[in-house]
Each structure stands twice: as structure tokens, then as C-alpha cells.
Amino acid sequence: MPSLGRLSLTVCPLDATQYSRDPSSGPVVNRIADEQKRRNEQSRGMWDRFGPHRDRVTRLLVDSATAGGRLCVLGAGNCNDVDLGALLDEFREIHLVDLDTDALRSGVSRQGYEDSARVFLHGDVDVTCIADRLGSWTPEHPPESRELDACLELAATHPPLDLAGPFDTVCSACLLTQLLDSIVMALGQRHPRCLELALRVRAQHLRLLVELLRPGGTGVLVMEIVSSATFPDLPKIPESRLVETATRLINERNFFTGMNPLVIHASFHSDPQLAPWVETAEITSPWLWDLGPRVYLVCAVVVRRKLGES
């Protein structure tokens, strides 16, 4: 798989226009969960637009499959990212995880597998364990330092999730960007500790991906790098030039906050809590994901867990 080289992390704006909210709507019980539901409702009818992206993600998962294996998809949402029929041909079980239970039910029903004994839904699951806290914060009313310290500690000492693991393959389906965006929603990008919390959540998510794997299993971290909001020429780039374009944009520090794929790739070998578990980590070739108002540059980091950890 082509390498994009090695660069350091920088902080760049998230695609705030895509995720804009009506400031007059007032507070909700959990702004993070509410916003996630809104986004899922917005994309529920976009099955056709997801097609090429879905084919890429599904192929990565099919290629990772072992005979009679079990698959877990984190951030499955409306299931627009995955072809359940193609995956059921390769896996004996599929476990779909999301904060939004209604989205999972709708997505599975649309693909005709609501009665399948091999498809398991895990709704109302907060993979960070801090969404409730984030959902009560706003940039206008940020938490006190002690609240933020407690949140950082909770993110670092993530309790186990009851997801019926371990699994042969675990996919994070463009979930990491949403997790980091929720921190920006809660604190505002100018908050002096926004990046600190974002990096803690990112590290925790990478560990979760690996922890859910059986020894020898494969993790697939699908991630958006940048959108046409900050690189308007993105839709015009031919596939043959996407690696070159991705490298240039990363060098120019034009990517979503915390979503430098080179740094994430390196983390699997440099993080002392990850490295003992990881056999290999590779970055796939990037692809374009056209969602109408925005086109995204996407890639995946594919990780193999060691058969025996040191």
C-alpha cells in the first residue's frame, strides 16, 4: 500500500460549515447525541451517494475477513458505509455499534436484514464514555479545569465496552472525525485545552480499535483527511494523483484537526500502550467521497494485531 511519508501533527479547522447548528435552538439534554442524530437523519436518504465510498470500505473489510470470522463496525450509523449482504458472505456475525439506535435500525432495515440472526445491533453506545459530559458544555460556558481534568482521566481509563468481543475484524467507519468534532463543539477550537482532549480521545479510540481484536485480527480505521471546503479543487483530482495531492495537503497543513493519517499510522508503533499489540500498520491509497455539497479525501489505516503480545 502506498506510503504518504512522515509528518508531524498540526491543528487545522474542521469542516464547521457542514456541521453548523441553529444557535437559537437552545440547549438540549445532550448536544452531542442530538447533533449525531441530526446528521444521521440528514444522510439517511443518501444511499446512492455513498455507493463508491461504500464499495471501498466493504472491499477493505472483505479483504480482511477470515473464514467464519466476526466483524464489528464502530460508528455504523445508517449503515450507508457498508454492504451488509457482501459482508455476510464473508463473516458469520456482524456487530453494528452506534450512539444512535434509530439510525442502526433504519439502516439494517433498508438493507433487508432486520430479522437476521447474524446481525447484532449495539445502540446507545458511547465509545468515548465522555459524550454526556461533552454534551453539557458549550464554548460560551466551558467546563472548569477540574471538570476537564476528570474528563481527561475518564477518557484515558476507558472502561471495557460490552460488545461481545473479541472480533476478527473491527472497523471504525469515519467515526474518529466525529469524535474529535464533538470536542470542538463542546469547547470551541480556541479553548487552550481543546487539542489536549482531542489527542486523548484519539489515542483512546486507537486503543479501543486494537483492544476489540482477537490476537491476529485486523483493524480498519477509515478516516476523512480533508474536504473541498478547504481545498475546492478536490473534486477535480484524478485518482492517479490522489496520493500526491494528499501528501501536498498534509505538507501544507490542510487537514481536519487530529486527522493527519501519517501521525495516526505512526501512533500504532510509537504509543507504548499500542505498540506491544500491533504487528503491522499500513495506510491505504486514498479515495474521494462525494457527498454533494462536500467532497472528502478519505483513506484507511489497516492494523494487524499480534498473535502474541509482549
Yes or no: say if 168 and 69 are a contact pair by the CB < 8 Å rule: yes
Distance of CA 179 to the CA centre of its chain: 7
Strand partners, 107: none
Question: Please, which residues have CB within 8 angstroms of residue 149's CB and are 6 or more apart in sequence?
Answer: none
Question: Can you tell me the mean pLDDT for 273-281?
Answer: 95
Question: Can you tell me the mean pLDDT for 74-95?
Answer: 97
Question: Please, which residues have CB within 8 angstroms of residue 26's CB and are 6 or more apart in sequence?
Answer: none
Yes or no: say if 147 and 133 are a contact pair by the CB < 8 Å rule: yes
pLDDT at 15 over 80: no
Task: Please give the share of the chain, as a percent, with pLDDT higher than 70.
Answer: 90
Q: Where is pLDDT greater, at 271 or 26? A: 271
Question: Can you tell me the mean pLDDT for 92-101?
Answer: 96
Identity of residue 198: A
Q: Where does residue 253 fall: left (phi above 0), alpha (psi -120 to 50 degrees), or beta otherwise?
A: left
Residue 140: how many CB atoms within 10 A of its CB? Answer: 7
pLDDT at 174 over 90: yes
Yes or no: say if 151 and 197 are a contact pair by the CB < 8 Å rule: yes
298 phi and psi, to 5 degrees? -125, 145
Task: Please give the share of the chain, as a percent, with pLDDT higher than 90.
Answer: 75
pLDDT at 10 over 70: no
pLDDT tens string 138-160: 999 999 999 999 999 988 887 77
Bridge-based pairing of strands 91-97 and 119-122 is parallel
pLDDT at 38 over 90: no
pLDDT tens string 224-273: 999 999 999 999 999 999 999 999 999 999 999 899 999 999 999 999 99
| Residue recorded with cell 446481525 | 119
Alpha-carbon gap, residue 200 to 163, rounded angstroms: 22
Q: Strands, DSSP E only, in the chain?
A: 69-74, 91-97, 119-122, 167-173, 213-227, 278-283, 287-290, 295-305
Question: Please, which residues have CB within 8 angstroms of residue 27's CB and are 6 or more apart in sequence?
Answer: 138
Average pLDDT, the chain: 88
Identify the CATH homologous superfamily for domain 23-305: Vaccinia Virus protein VP39 (3.40.50.150)
Give the domain ranges of the chain: 23-305
Q: Strands, DSSP E only, in 176-251?
A: 213-227
Provide the pLDDT for residue 18.
Answer: 32
Alpha-carbon distances, residue 56 vs 212, 222, 260, 285 (angstroms): 22, 10, 20, 10
pTM of the model: 0.88
Alpha-carbon gap, residue 32 to 47, rounded angstroms: 24
Yes or no: say if 218 and 304 are a contact pair by the CB < 8 Å rule: yes
pLDDT tens string 203-216: 999 999 999 999 99
